Amino acid sequence: MSSLPFRIGFGEDAHRLEAGLPLVLGGVPIPHAELGAVAHSDGDAVLHAVADALLSGLALGDIGQYFPDTAAEWRGMDSRVIVQRALELVRARGYVPGNVAVVVTLDRPKLGPLRADIARSVAGLLNLPESEVGVSFKTSEGLAPAHVQTRVTALLIRPGSVAP
Ligand SMILES: Nc1ccn([C@@H]2O[C@H](COP(=O)(O)O)[C@@H](O)[C@H]2O)c(=O)n1
Ligand SMILES: C[C@@]1(CO)OP(=O)(O)OP(=O)(O)OC[C@H]1O
């Protein structure tokens, strides 16, 4: 069991995009997306990277170990369940999330108008104030138009080990 007051986690995810599929990011359905994620689950690349960031901060592996993409039971699953499980594992080791920073690379549609919705959704899942969830968007500058990529850093704190 770690005795460090802080741990840093990093997660990354990518999904191929195709027409006729839904796009969900951070638990928020993206309206008017021409392309959606090809995935075994609901393909929420933000929540997959959030969960991996939580797990990696405590060297707990990655979501594929807990939710294999070969298991029929996880087909089409709501990725909020993945984050909830990762959070349970983090809490069981005596840590809680302090803040997270999310970067989404997606060419279309523009996500700026949904920034607050995504931050609020991720914050709610992690039991954090919205102000502790940074959300940035980038395009690939046309290099990967049928692709969504996400990267997330997470600070994990052991309550009681640092002055408030
Ligand atoms: N899907 C996206 C991608 C980017 N944005 C915003 O556009 C601005 C410029 O992005 P660059 O990749 O060209 O640097 C930036 O302010 C992003 O927030 C967006 O809203 N949705
Ligand atoms: C979430 C899982 C399981 O349904 O499948 P995908 O939706 O394909 O997502 P990915 O980020 O490729 O890997 C994790 C998987 O185990």
Q: Can you tell me the ipTM of this complex?
A: 0.94
Q: How far apart are CA 140 and CA 24, in angstroms?
A: 19
Q: How far apart are CA 152 and CA 16, in angstroms?
A: 18
Which tokens hold the place of 151? 């990267």
Structure confidence by residue, pLDDT tens digits, 106-132: 999 999 999 999 999 999 999 999 999
Share of the chain above pLDDT 70, in %: 99
Q: Whose CA is nearest to atom 5 of ligand 1?
A: 137
What is the distance in A from the centroid of ligand 1 to the CA of 151? 15
Would you state the pLDDT for residue 161? 84
What is the distance in A from the centroid of ligand 1 to the CA of 105? 8
- Cα atoms in the Cβ-side hemisphere of radius 13 Å centred on 142: 0
pLDDT at 164 over 80: no
Output Rg (C-alpha) for the chain, integer angstroms: 16
Q: Is 64 annotated as a binding residue?
A: yes
Q: Which residue has the tokens 């980038």?
A: 138
Q: Is the CB of 46 under 6 A from ligand 2?
A: no
**Which run of H or of E encompasses 122?**
helix 115-126
pLDDT at 12 over 90: yes
Q: Whose CA is nearest to atom 16 of ligand 1?
A: 137
Q: Is the pTM of this model over 0.90?
A: yes
Would you state the pLDDT for residue 8? 98
Main-chain dihedrals φ then ψ at residue 60, nearest 5 degrees: -105, 15
Could you identify the atom of ligand 2 that is nearest to the CA of residue 62?
A: 14
Structure confidence by residue, pLDDT tens digits, 132-149: 999 999 999 999 999 999
